[in-house]
Chain A
Amino acid sequence: MTATATEPGKIRAKARPGDTTFFGLAIGAGSLILVALAAVAVFLLAEALPAFTADTTGMNSSPANFWAYVGPLAFGTVWSSFLALLFAVPLSLGIALFISHYAPRRIAQGLGYVIDLLAAVPSVIFGLWGIKVLAPAIVPLFGWLNEHLGWLPFFAGQVDSTGHTILTVAIVLAVMIIPIITSLCREIFLQTPKLHEEAALALGATRWEMIKMAVLPFGRPGIVSATMLGLGRALGETMVVAMLLSPAVVINFVLTSGQNPSTIAGNIALQFPEAHGDAVNILIATGLILFVITLVVNSFARWIVARRAAFSGAN
């Protein structure tokens, strides 16, 4: 500071009280975010620490060790989100391409709004809809899958007659993350350099060949990061799982049975209102683990975006 002040020929602006106050407020707000996140980590850790050594026998299951308790939940979280991605990513890519390159220009933006409406629906309403409409409607499909594809481990065993299985949950989760992935992909696809597209078309490419040659290679990092952000959302989704899943403490890959691994978030929502004593600490510890998982997934997504911004010569 002093070095610049004494530099000859440099005039420092007069420090006005208004300016300093306002700068203080602005930087204070910025620091508050830093403090808030640090507080999230510290308070969760403080409340979670007793759990790591606690006896979990009193919980809804028998494993007497915290890690044995959280294992099936972590598995269910990742498994259900993975299934959701399996449905959501191809659909989202199709929808994003439809809006960015296929739909008539004049209505494309309106169609984008329609898809965004899905993102605005509160998750509890998706839960109600899943119970009332989707689960009963999907049971016949489960029966068919079990009958004809029962030799696959995914559809083996007894079919759950209520339809409250992990596959149903994954479908609802997919519906919930489709708008997120779609809107990100749409934006990336629209950023494709016009010259690349026109060059492809001028060489006689069909529309699909143009997309394959110009749009998709350009958008690949964006697609990956959109997928990861969608995954981050699916991992933390609570209400749909809490309302729509028949949970059990198991690790299995069966999609149609009544024995489903629950997810961390769903388990917290179901157990927390009734929890007391050690159970509270244990649930908060599982929440901490969920936080770490989503943090890793989201950071990975951001990292891909940042890398692309640094190396892309297109803009």
Chain B
Amino acid sequence: MAVATASKRTAVPNRLTHGRLPKWAPWVILAGSWIVMGTIVAIVGAADGAADFNIGLAVFLGQILFLVAVWVIAYLVEGGRQAKDRFVTGLVGTAFVIALIPLISLAYTVIVNGAARFDLTFFTWTMRNVIGEGGGALHALVGTLQITLLATLISVPVGLLTAVYLVEYGRGWFARSITFLVDVMTGIPSIVAGLFAFALFALITGEAGFRSGFGGAVALSLLMIPVVVRSSEEMLRIVPNELREASYALGVPKYRTILRIVIPTSIAGIATGVTIAIARIIGETAPLLIIAGTSKSMNWNPFDGRMMTLPVFAYDSYTTYGVADKVAQQDRAWAAALLLILIVMVLNLLARLIAKFFAPKTGR
């Protein structure tokens, strides 16, 4: 077939394209495999008396048939090496598509289930004295915003200053050990951060059952600081040295050079990093479950008493019913999940937009 198309253009058989499958061949084989396996699964399913068509099985078997078929056909036409190449190409593409399945399924599930209770009541009510339907997550939303804000207020100055130290001042063993410790911090499991905050406040206050929103902010800071340090450090490093030297040559002190030249040049990248760090910690559940606890009522004071947050609200609603209406609880959990995923996506989008429109001026 390849020879036929080639001869149409050049009249002489082209030796370079001889013995090659045409470009569309893999796609045709893919479609063919799916159709064949779909038919087989449908027939076997009907014979077994299954009510509905098992699409997952059909696609799975179709994909296997495709990989086998593409190898066999390529082996016959193009030889063993090309066959292997095509087989791996198919495998790699399959891997990518497999990774998309949970993403799509997750987005679909959260939107479909979350939409049921994504209404005004959800944003204006707390769960105080709510047993059946209704009720909302206002207390959790307020808690999440307060704790995240506090964590950001702790983490950004500390993280940014550490990055400045590492890039502008850091030499020798002290800077190296800080770099190492930031690496260690990146790997702290979130639940350990929660336990640390609990141990810290339990020892300081002497209360064995201590819970507060501020403790949650401390735990989240522990997770957020290394992210901020890493991203800010990277951004500060790409500020060209010529800018610093020009500033020094004009007699500007080092601290003013950093504050007026280095940081403004890289501010977009730093903002992107901070936004991504916020997006990462706003969905943290485990540490807040430990140290901020759960609550049904509004708590405006992060320094005293239990404080509900959105991820914990989703977890708690889904897993504990008590006397409450199970379906209503689950609907609320899904609505909280939808709200959470929207917040995270908006933050990520914001980060990308900042990175795109205020790209660091590298002078190149």
Contacts and interface: CB of A to CB of B under 8 A. Distances in A.
Interface string A94-118: 1101110011000000010111011
16 contacts: A22-B255, A29-B162, A44-B196, A94-B92, A95-B96, A121-B341, A123-B286, A125-B340, A209-B81, A229-B187, A272-B290, A273-B293, A280-B202, A290-B189, A290-B191, A298-B187
Interface stretch (B2-10, B26-34, B177-185): B177-185
A133 B285 contact: no
B209 A276 contact: yes
Given A91-B95, A118-B99, A120-B279, A37 B289 contact: no
Interface in B315-345: 315, 318-319, 333-334, 337, 340-341, 344-345
A21 interface: yes
Interface of B: 56, 81-82, 84-85, 88-89, 91-96, 98-100, 102-103, 105-106, 109-110, 113, 157-162, 164-166, 168-170, 174-175, 177-178, 180-193, 195-196, 198-200, 202-203, 208-209, 222, 225, 229, 253-256, 258-259, 279-280, 282-286, 289-290, 293-294, 311-312, 314-315, 318-319, 333-334, 337, 340-341, 344-345, 348, 352
A59 interface: no
Given A18-B253, A29-B157, A229-B187, 19 more contacts: A25-B161, A26-B164, A30-B178, A32-B162, A90-B95, A94-B92, A114-B103, A120-B345, A121-B106, A124-B311, A128-B109, A128-B337, A137-B56, A175-B99, A208-B88, A236-B191, A238-B191, A287-B192, A298-B187
Contacts of B99: 91, 95, 115, 118, 175, 178, 182
A33 interface: yes
Contacts of A3: none
A70 B197 CA distance: 22
Nearest to A289: B192
Contacts of B109: 128-129, 132-133
Nearest to B157: A29
Contact of B203 (A22, A46, A132): A46
A207 interface: yes
Interface in A274-301: 276-277, 280, 283-284, 287-288, 290-291, 294-295, 297-299
A203 to B, nearest CB: 12
Contacts of B348: 117, 120
A272 B289 contact: yes
A151 interface: no
Given A117-B103, A208-B84, A290-B192, A239 B162 contact: no
A156 interface: no
B95 A273 contact: no
A215 to B, nearest CB: 12
Interface SS majority for chain B? helix
Contact of B185 (A37, A44, A98): A37
Nearest to B254: A19
Contact of B188 (A40, A133, A284): A40
B191 A124 contact: no
A290 B187 CA distance: 11
B95 A94 contact: yes
Given A18-B255, A131-B318, A47 B199 contact: yes
A122 B341 CA distance: 7
Contacts of B344: 120-122
Given A44-B195, A115-B99, A129-B106, A124 B290 contact: no
Given A25-B161, A299-B184, A98 B95 contact: yes
A125 B158 contact: no
Nearest to B108: A133
B285 A287 contact: no
Interface SS majority for chain A? helix
A91 B96 CA distance: 8
* Interface bin, chain A: 35 or more
Contacts of A277: 208
A4 to B, nearest CB: 14
A78 to B, nearest CB: 14
Residue in A111, A120, A133 with the greatest tally of chain B CB atoms within 10 Å: A120
Contacts of B333: 128
Nearest to B287: A238
Nearest to A48: B199
Contacts of A206: 81-82, 84-85
A129 B334 CA distance: 10
Nearest to A26: B165
Contacts of B102: 118, 129, 175
Given A25-B161, A120-B344, A209-B85, A33 B181 contact: yes
A176 to B, nearest CB: 9
A114 B348 CA distance: 12
A72 interface: no
A29 B81 CA distance: 57
Contacts of B82: 206
A23 B169 contact: yes
Given A94-B94, A124-B337, A243-B315, A33 B162 contact: yes
A70 to B, nearest CB: 14
A102 B285 contact: no
A268 B184 contact: no
Nearest to B201: A43
A284 B195 contact: yes
Nearest to B56: A137
Given A22-B258, A122-B283, A133-B105, A102 B199 contact: no
A127 B103 CA distance: 13
A36 interface: yes
A232 interface: yes
A289 to B, nearest CB: 10
B314 A19 contact: no
A265 B259 CA distance: 42
A51 B284 CA distance: 27
A313 to B, nearest CB: 23
A97 B92 contact: yes
A146 B175 CA distance: 55
B192 A118 contact: no
A213 to B, nearest CB: 12
Interface in A191-238: 206-209, 211, 229, 232, 235-238
